[in-house]
Amino acid sequence: MRKVYLDHNATTPVDPLVLEAMLPYYREYFGNPSSIHEFGRLARKAIDDGRVSAAKLIGAKDVDEIVFTGSGTEADNFALKGAADALKQKGNHIITSAIEHHAVLNVCKALEKSGFKVTYAPVDKSGIVKLDELKKAITDKTILISIMYANNETGVIQPVEEIAKIAKEKGALFHTDAVQAVGKVPIDVSKLGVDLLSASAHKIYGPKGVGFLYIRKGIKPTPILLGGHHEKNRRAGTENVAGIAGFGKAAELALKNMDKDAQRVRSLRDGLEKGILSAIPHTYLNGHPEKRLCTTTNISFEFLEGESIILNLDMEGIAVSTGSACTSGSLEPSHVLTAMGVEAVRSQGSLRFSLGKENTEEDIDYVIKALAPIIERLRKMSPLYKG
Ligand SMILES: *Cc1c(COP(=O)(O)O)cnc(C)c1O
């Protein structure tokens, strides 16, 4: 049976060139990068090179502004907890949005329990943060604003440059969870004016279990992992040498092929989207039609539950998801779609299709052909559907 993977916002396959760049660090160059002998120096070199590639991908001026972490989640934790702790004398107010990834939302909830006040800025119908509301929420106690770059469920891109300006004017730090955006859209941290930015390798054809936090020079979030003097005392723990080498290679490839890949994937995504919306009745696009990643489309199939569509597609070899991997298994509607004002009858039946560079025209045709009869069959069984 044909296998079609359309869940790249959950994770991507490791690019063969990335794997090739990693293997030597499991085989011959297995040294501890903190050791001063040759084994150690060879491992250290891999980390240095990975840092250069990571810095280049986001336009960081100084390679020391990149701190490698164990995941995108850890980078988010470090940014929020670290900044909150470092600035707690100055204020106790944080602003984020209602549509963040749980790696940000759940840290905010924990910070609320330890005495910080958090405002969850609303979004409009298209999934974009309401800047006027965000501005109104700022007080002289606001120390940090954290708004994601691109949403993982809808792909919608936020006005980060404008938000960075607002934060700067008010003397607050600005963090962006750019895990979905890095490697897919051009990012220049200097031009954007962000202070902290999170990224993760496995969303860009790198390995799982390695991320980084960009920390603008001069900013000192309190470390959350304590131990040895790794990463210039900012993140203790022996570095994931092979993972960092892989992240570096993935960053290099993403930068080199960004335009070419984006063009191809966008045309596949648009074909899929148009195909579904025209072939299947009672379907609706969620999120801003233009201001979003070229990889992602989020579509509601009214009167159905996303999970049952997923299971039926799975039987045809097709992998898609409802909003976020973290909420799958629960039948709670997506917090992202709810924040956008999508009614339950539509949000429950929403699917995220996230494409990647290995997808083909044939994949898309196969999915559209498989989907239409599944939807028809499920609707016939749905008590909500009246034909
Ligand atoms: C995947 C993802 C994360 C978490 O990254 P991990 O490396 O899987 O921990 C955080 N934020 C967003 C927007 C993501 O898509």
Query: pLDDT tens-digit profile of 319-330?
Result: 999 874 445 555
Q: Which of 253, 288, 304 is the last residue of a domain?
A: 253
Residue 324 lies in a domain: yes
What are the residue numbers of the active site? Answer: 326
For residue 36, tell me if it sits in a domain. yes
- Model confidence band, residue 295 (pLDDT cutoffs 50, 70, 90): very high
CATH number at residue 37: 3.40.640.10
Q: What is the pLDDT of residue 192?
A: 97
Residues 139 and 231 in one domain: yes
The pLDDT score that the predictor gives to residue 330 is 58
Residues 80, 162 share a domain: yes
Residues 276 and 352 in one domain: yes
Instruction: Let me know how many helices (H) and strands (E) the chain has, helices first.
Output: 13, 12
Could you report the per-residue pLDDT of 58-108, keeping only the tens digit for each? 999 999 999 999 999 999 999 999 999 999 999 999 999 999 999 999 999
Report the atom number in ligand 1 closest to the C-alpha of 324.
15
Query: What b/e string do you get for 5-22 counting C-beta neighbours within 10 Å, with b at 16 or more?
Result: bbbbbbbbebbeebbebb
Q: How confident is the model at residue 274 (pLDDT cuts 50, 70, 90)?
A: very high
Residue-wise pLDDT for 97-150, tens only, equals: 999 999 999 999 999 999 999 999 999 999 999 999 999 999 999 999 999 999
- What residues are in contact with ligand 1 under a 6 Å CB criterion? 71-73, 76, 101, 103, 148, 152, 177, 179-180, 200, 202-203, 211
Ligand 1 midpoint to CA 259 (Å): 23
The three-class DSSP label of residue 292 is strand
Cα–Cα nearest to 63, from 177, 231, 280: 231
pLDDT-based confidence at residue 384 (cuts at 50, 70, 90): confident
Together in a domain, 213 and 317: no
Q: Which domain holds residue 118?
A: 16-253
| Residue 162 and residue 87 in one domain | yes
In this prediction, residues 359-370 reach a mean pLDDT of 98
- Domain for residue 386, yes or no? no
DSSP summary character for residue 150: B
Q: What percent of the chain has pLDDT over 90?
A: 94
Kindly state whether residue 341 falls inside one of the protein's structural domains: yes
Alpha helical stretches, state H, the chain: 16-22, 38-58, 72-86, 102-113, 131-137, 160-169, 189-192, 230-233, 241-279, 306-315, 335-339, 344-347, 361-381
Say if residue 51 is in the same domain as residue 181.
Answer: yes
Q: Give the closest residue (by CA) to ligand 1 atom 3.
A: 72
Among 253, 281, 311, the domain boundary falls at: 253
224 and 100 share one domain: yes
User: What is the rounded average pLDDT of the residues 219-243?
Assistant: 97
Ligand 1 binding pocket mutation candidate from 80, 99, 179 (most atoms within 8 A of CB): 179
- Are residues 366 and 345 located together in one domain of the fold? yes
List all residues 6 or more positions away from 38 whose beta carbon is below 8 Å from its beta carbon: 31
Spacing, Cα 53 to ligand 1 middle (Å) = 20
pLDDT of residue 326: 45
- Identify whether 198 is part of a domain: yes
Report pLDDT digits (tens) over 160-187.
Answer: 999 999 999 999 999 999 999 999 999 9
Inform me whether the pLDDT recorded for 222 exceeds 90: yes
Specify if 387 maps to a domain.
Answer: no
Domain assignment present for residue 126? The answer is yes
For residue 137, report the distance from its CA to the centre of ligand 1, in Å.
26
**The domain spanning residue 271 has which CATH number?**
3.90.1150.10
Domain boundary residue, one of 219, 237, 253? 253
The model's pLDDT over 298-323, given as tens digits with 9 standing for 90+, comes to 999 999 999 999 999 999 999 999 87
Residue nearest ligand 1's atom 14 by CA: 179
303 shares a domain with 225: no
Q: Are residues 192 and 71 in the same domain?
A: yes
Task: Note every long-range contact of 321-328, with CB atoms under 8 Å and residues 24 or more positions apart, other chains counting.
Answer: 321/7, 321/9, 321/10, 321/351, 321/352, 321/354, 322/350, 322/351, 322/352, 323/152, 323/153, 323/298, 323/350, 323/352, 324/101, 324/102, 324/152, 324/153, 325/10, 326/101, 326/102
Per-residue pLDDT reduced to its tens digit, 181-203: 999 999 999 999 999 999 999 99
Which residue, judged by its Cα, is nearest atom 12 of ligand 1? 179
Alpha carbon nearest to ligand 1 atom 8, residue:
72
Q: How many domains does the chain contain in total?
A: 2
Distance 28 CA to ligand 1 centre (A): 31
**Cα of 153 from ligand 1 centre, angstroms:** 11
Report the pLDDT averaged over residues 2-31: 98
Classify residue 266: in a domain, yes or no: yes
Judge if 302 and 360 occupy the same domain: yes
pLDDT at 386: 75
- The verdict on 177 and 62 lying in the same domain is yes
